[in-house]
Amino acid sequence: MKILFLTLSLAFYLSFNISPANAQIAQCVGEKTTTLPLSGDYGAFGQFTVTRQVILNPDPEAPAPISVFVPSNASPQNKVPVIFFAHGFGGISYQFYETLMRQLASNGYAVVFSPYTSSILASHATRYNQLWNGFLTAVQQNSAIMNTTKIGFAGHSYGAGATPEMARRGAAQGWGTNGLFLFVMAPWYNWGTNPEQIPASAKMIVQVYWDDETNQHLIGQNDVWNKLPQIIERKWQVIRASKTYCSLSSGHSVPVTDGLQQTDGVTNGYDSWGVWRRLHALSDYTFTGNQAARNIAFGVEAKMGKWRGIFASRQISPLETTDSPVLNSQSTPVFLWGNKCNYAQGSPCP
């Protein structure tokens, strides 16, 4: 399988962008260059075995089947919370994020991956409907084991921009009455409507990567953060590059875990500490009210592990968490906030 890179003429749809490795410091190519969360801790794999369920997509134009990662503790007697994952543009294979989704499922959550088309002829409404209908179909076919009163929506890039709309539709469906969260990573533009309908009780993390070469941080501020002022519990998080022992990149593809990319698309310490740990803890806090989980999710406890090898005593730079957006104004990403209307494809644009 090869990742889908678009030609320059289609660059405005790019979701995964490869950055050159640091010329002086070797790129970290695996998790074991850093310590990992201990077994039983947030960000580690859990005790449950995971089965991938394949569901025929109800939309004949959708590019792939729906995947549902089901933990072994799910049953009619023990319905489990559900996390809906929205991939980046072009990442139509579940394999791009499989390790992330299996980590969550192994800790007792059903995780739904719904692919949407990367055709440039499709409208944003078409893609959003494919994404939503895939989520809805997965729930309909697994109603016996899914507890939709406890749900979360996580997304990356194009899918991150879609996450508020998916959360709005889920709330309108009556889902999330006992817990609802949004985990938004490196978002592209948001083409949803009526974000004020998302309950104020929802929890939200917007996570950006300092050297994002694809999406300007200002997009996340204006199209997600500023559109959801009613959410009381929310944090803005920043992951920067670490270059002490080897280089942990902080580019657009940090959440991608397929290993096909040469820099930040590989699974490394930033996945387990930066992404999985915070998303795992946010899930537990949202669904159970666990205050220790809240502190980890929202970055009160901000540790990111230590280097291994000759720098084993050195900590990775901690996660940065704030109550208002922190932006890299020196970056030169492909997609700028001011250019949003160039990509509207007929959708309403401010």
Specify the range with the lowest mean pLDDT, choosing from 9-13, 47-51, 149-153: 9-13
Q: Give residue 11's pLDDT.
A: 34
The candidate with the shortest Cα–Cα distance to 297, out of 204, 198, 185, 186, is 204
Domain ranges of the chain: 25-343
In DSSP terms, which residues pair with 67 in a beta bridge? 54, 113
The H-or-E segment that residue 155 falls in is strand 146-156
Residue-wise pLDDT tens digits, 61-70: 999 999 999 9
Query: Contact, 186 vs 219, CB < 8 A?
Result: no
Q: Measured between alpha carbons, how far is 231 from 36 in angstroms, rounded to an integer?
A: 32
Q: DSSP 3-state assignment of 297?
A: helix
Would you state the CATH architecture of domain 25-343?
3-Layer(aba) Sandwich (3.40)
Residue-wise pLDDT tens digits, 311-331: 777 889 899 999 999 999 998
Q: Measured between alpha carbons, how far is 264 from 258 in angstroms, rounded to an integer?
A: 10
φ, ψ (nearest 5 deg) of residue 69: -95, 115
Structure tokens at 260: 């096909």
Q: Give residue 128's pLDDT.
A: 98
Measured in whole angstroms, how far is the alpha carbon of residue 341 from the centre of its chain? 24
Q: Measured between alpha carbons, how far is 53 from 69 in angstroms, rounded to an integer?
A: 6
Q: Say what the pTM is.
A: 0.91
Query: Contact, 194 vs 169, CB < 8 A?
Result: no
